[in-house]
Structure 1
Amino acid sequence: MIPTVVWGTGNVGRLAIRAVEAHPALELAAVIVHHPDKVGRDAGRLAGLDHDTGVTATDDAGAVLAARPRAVVYAATGDVRPDGALADITRAIRAGAVVVSPALYPLYDHRSAPPEFRDPVAAAVAEGGGSLFASGVDPGWGNDVLPLLVSGLGTAIDAIRCQEVFDYSTYDQPDSVRDLIGMGRPMDHQPMMLMPSVPTMVWGGQIRMMARALGVELDGIRETVDRRALDHTVTTRTMGVFEAGTQGAIRFEVQGIVDGEPRLVIEHVTRIHPSCAPDWPMPPGGGDGAHRVVIEGRPRIEVTVEATDEGENRSAGGNATAVGRLVGAIDWLVDAEPGLYDALDIPLRPAVGRLGRKRP
């Protein structure tokens, strides 16, 4: 069994605890938390399980890493604290751990990452012998391995579009939804996530990975952004009231330009209520959300993935599949050489030992 630490118990961390508990090759060794109210609580309760795990949460990261765990799922946010997340992750790598995380967007494609992100990780790998695999919770597989897998079914390809369509009214993450994305903010407010170059910083690495896998040269990466206001005030189940006239929906694309045309596209259509921007793409069947890959060419291929978790919550379901990809890579990484890895390095493998296994 591989002793595995989960660092953070928010929307990603609680799913990571469940994934580690369910994996036959992993053993939950520790859970690191920041909030003092969580210290001393059993990991199973923090993850919403109906049983205790025997592992209690601690805020002493130093003591946990001193025990030299073999793997760390770093689930704390890097959205508003990238320097802090980088410091935590390199600390774990220097302790010899294999680290998997969605927190550092620039390292989704480490080959194109800025030196200020890549160099500290490479130094930590050389010093401690750990590894890093970073992949997104939007989810990463929907923008890299899935479109590439599906592309292999075509005869001729004109363009590949990776699309996330979500109603975030069920997503309990006000910092991201209100502050980063700007839902409920005045229309003249500039959300951090939509500032020029930020979408490319987050998703450009996945565009570059797809181009590399397909053997094409990018002319460049282009962004488009559209925003819509709420026509009327809405009240959400998890995040309260969003006033009429404030931002209620966004639609943006990160486009990989090949031969002057947008051939590789990652598109997000995000709403705080289904009444906003009804002319934009909607989730199938009126659900909360879905991920879609469209291969334009011959034949035209469209694949839609819907995942549910936590009471039919599709936003949690998308996170859960992303966490499954990260946690499912740990045993492979433990057997691999120390280093930086991306989604093209980590094979997609069957869920060996998990068919019919009791859920955690």
Structure 2
Amino acid sequence: MTIQPLRVVQWATGTVGQAALRHFIGNPHFQPVGVLVTNPDKVGRDAGELVGLPAIGLAATDDVEAILALDADCVHFAPLLPDVDTVCRLLRSGKNVVSPLGPVYASEPFRADVEKIEAACREGGVSFHGTGIHPGFIGDILPLTLTRLSDRIDRIQVFEIADKLKTPSVYIEYMGFGLSPDELAARPNCMTGAMHAFAQSMAFVVEGLGKRIGDVTERHEIALATHDIAYEGGVICAGTVAGQHWEWTALVDGAPFLVYHLYYRMGEDMTPAWNLGESRHRILVEGAPSFELTLAASPEADGHLPFLGITWTALLGATAIPAVCAAAPGFVTHMDLGIVKPLGLARA
């Protein structure tokens, strides 16, 4: 039986967008029909060329109206910043949307956005799914799935540990690395209010277990560079921020139940020395029985262990597209999708 390829649009070609576009080009179950770019230097370039592949005969555009007018099954929407209004325009145009920017769950701070998205889905007869590695997978559907191995759960801890010196990204600047502690405290950055985004995943897990979150607390620790640290985007000067630990705790029945740890750092030469080891994700379930799961990249040929957060963010969205296109119209979460069955992964 021949399955008609899904016609997809890649919206934005940053690091996440490039990884998704590369998947769409290589997977026979997808047919890229549009690429939206915001960098003028990319306009008119072939989609394949943008991701280091042979040309496929599809030129990138910055014309939003042209993208809206396309006959497409789904848009993988991956700009740098959320844009619910544009998402709703895409949905009303009859295109399903999958986005690593979320929202991923209708927790209270995002309820209004979810309601707008639901209304646009009904108008367009399509669905929306928010996903990503974290929020969107490592802190919600994965730990909730692991709870089936439990008789009783006292606490769940989720760790994201990333050495951005080994795998540089725009988040080095956007998170305020290289600032003094006072500058970091005074300037809003991409982590300002991040607790609410991650609390979506917390609500997903806790409500999936039949409980409700009473409150979420936040703690932020920093570590300072012990000497100048050069990276491809500049220098983290000695005495400036080289490590950040964000900790969010969801209280259930008055006790800490779900704790997220986000450790981002620029190498190990900092004080205090956290000695975190290689980049990885880790889930620790404490109870009866207690157990843990570690998710990390395999070593590359040169022994390098990359942090695959960006790649996994793209692929979690891309591989969900067939299920989202097949879903009933509306805002769909992991609960609604059930077990996602990706297409085209087993190929030469």
Q: What's the TM-score once normalised by structure 2's chain length?
A: 0.90
8 A Cα contact 1:139 1:318, kept in partner: no
Determine whether 1:32 maps to 2:36. Answer: yes
**Distance apart, 1:259 and its partner CA:** 2.3
**Distance apart, 1:164 and its partner CA:** 0.2
In the aligned structure 1, how far is the partner of 2:300 from the partner of 2:45? 20
After superposition, the Cα gap between the structure-2 partners of 1:46 and 1:308, relative to the gap in structure 1 and judged at 3 Å, is farther
After superposition, the Cα gap between the structure-2 partners of 1:137 and 1:154, relative to the gap in structure 1 and judged at 3 Å, is closer
Alignment-derived partner of residue 345 in structure 2: 354
Residue 56 of structure 1 is aligned with which of 51, 59, 67?
59
In the aligned structure 1, how far is the partner of 2:299 from the partner of 2:7? 26
Listed as ranges, the matches of 1:194-233 within 5 Å are: 194-195=191-192, 198-233=193-228
Residue 330 of structure 1 is aligned with which of 315, 321, 343?
321
One-letter amino acid matched to 1:282? L
Cα deviation per residue 1:222-252 (whole Å; 9 max; x = unaligned)? 111111111111111x322110111110111
Alignment-derived partner of residue 184 in structure 1: 178
8 A Cα contact 1:110 1:118, kept in partner: yes
8 A Cα contact 2:229 2:236, kept in partner: yes
In the aligned structure 1, how far is the partner of 2:339 from the partner of 2:311? 16
Query: How many residue pairs end up in the alignment?
Result: 339
Listed as ranges, the matches of 1:67-86 within 5 Å are: 67-78=70-81, 82=82, 85-86=83-84
**Distance apart, 1:332 and its partner CA:** 1.1
Q: What's the TM-score once normalised by structure 1's chain length?
A: 0.87
8 A Cα contact 1:269 1:280, kept in partner: no
Determine whether 1:291 maps to 2:281. Answer: yes
Listed as ranges, the matches of 1:1-360 within 5 Å are: 1-49=5-53, 51-78=54-81, 82=82, 85-104=83-102, 107-138=103-134, 140-174=136-170, 176-179=171-174, 181-189=175-183, 190=185, 191-195=188-192, 198-236=193-231, 238-277=232-271, 279-280=273-274, 282-283=276-277, 287=278, 289-307=279-297, 314-315=306-307, 317-355=308-346, 357-358=347-348
**Distance apart, 1:299 and its partner CA:** 2.1
8 A Cα contact 1:145 1:343, kept in partner: yes
**Distance apart, 1:52 and its partner CA:** 1.9
Q: Percent identity among equivalent residues? A: 30
**Distance apart, 1:213 and its partner CA:** 0.7
In the aligned structure 1, how far is the partner of 2:299 from the partner of 2:15? 12
One-letter amino acid matched to 2:66? A
Cα deviation per residue 1:51-85 (whole Å; 9 max; x = unaligned)? 2222221111211221231100001111xxx3xx2
Cα deviation per residue 1:292-337 (whole Å; 9 max; x = unaligned)? 111112222111111369995623x222222222111111111111
In the aligned structure 2, how far is the partner of 1:34 from the partner of 1:306? 32
Q: Where do 5+ consecutive residues of structure 1 fail to align?
A: none
Classify the secondary structure of the residue corresponding to 1:150.
helix
One-letter amino acid matched to 2:209? L
Cα deviation per residue 1:177-220 (whole Å; 9 max; x = unaligned)? 223x110011102242454xx13222010000000111122221
Q: What is the alpha-carbon root mean square deviation over aligned residues?
A: 2.2
Q: Where do 5+ consecutive residues of structure 2 fail to align?
A: none
One-letter amino acid matched to 2:287? G
